Amino acid sequence: MKKLAGKTAIISGSGRGIGRALALKLAADGANIVVNDLDEAPAAEVVAAIKAAGGHAVACTGNVTAEDFGERFVQTALDSFGGLDIIVNNAGYTRDAVIQKQSDEQFQAMLDVHVVAPFRILRAASEHFRVTSKQEAAEGREVIRKIVNISSMAGTHGNAGQVNYSSAKSALIGMTKTMSKEWGRYKVCVNCVAFGFIETRLTKPNDDPATLIEIEGKAIQAGVPAAMLGALKTMVPLGRAGTPDEAAGGVYLFCIPESDYISGQVMIVGGGVSL
């Protein structure tokens, strides 16, 4: 039996990069997947790949910062698969600048995508978790559900030029620890994975066309200055950036039954970096 057979997972930002790798990994272990991306094409590609491999998936496209997105995301899982067992808050991007060059809008944008959006998604799931866990307890069953919030070493240690991103990712750690205490009674484990240097479009040189992200018609320049990339690799004891599959592996550990008694924790997936 596959470890996640019969489980349903919703993964924000799962049309590309780490989210895509995680969606494929959870699906391969038996989970039904609700795939999310800003754009329809990447989400549809992941859904098709999961189905081609014999799995089950549907898409819920759109911007996670929309006020109604959390409710729509959760309801897609309930309508499509009849339940919800795993939530991974993964969607996000960077908008770097030193503080004197950073606008209020630039700062707020990171809070919206990395803090407010996960809050709304978890709030949308709260009633389902409360009611379902109460029914299961009445039947004498204990069913463990999982939340994994995706943070960053910028949130655990800070990073120059990322006061907005670092602040948001740090806030997500506070959310994780609080929700682990609130939802323990519902048998929900809430944990956080903080990534180090992982190969995604957000860590490509910022003059690479792939780092230009369009969000609702607005072009956002992500990426890292090329001169910094070599230095970043030398800071990693393993001597290289992690792959999306390796990053997804860290999240996977918090989704499987082996982590059913782990909650409120922050795990760094960074190739041995310890600052």
Q: What's phi and psi for 4, nearest 5 deg?
A: -110, 20
Cite the DSSP H helix spans in 53-116: 69-81, 104-111
DSSP state of 112: I
For the beta carbon of residue 221, count every other beta carbon within 10 angstroms: 12
Which residues are CB-neighbours of 227 under 8 A, at least 6 positions away? none
The helix (run of H) or strand (run of E) holding residue 247 is helix 244-253
CB 176 within 8 A of CB 266: yes
CA distance 254 to 263: 9
The three-state secondary structure class of 234 is: helix
What is the dihedral sign for C-alpha 221, 227, 231, 236?
positive
Q: What's phi and psi for 62, nearest 5 deg?
A: 130, 170
CA distance 165 to 159: 9
CA distance 84 to 67: 20
**Catalytically active residues, by annotation:** 165
Residue (of 161, 68, 176) closest to 106 by Cα position: 161
Per DSSP, what are the bridge partners of residue 198?
242
CA distance 167 to 187: 29
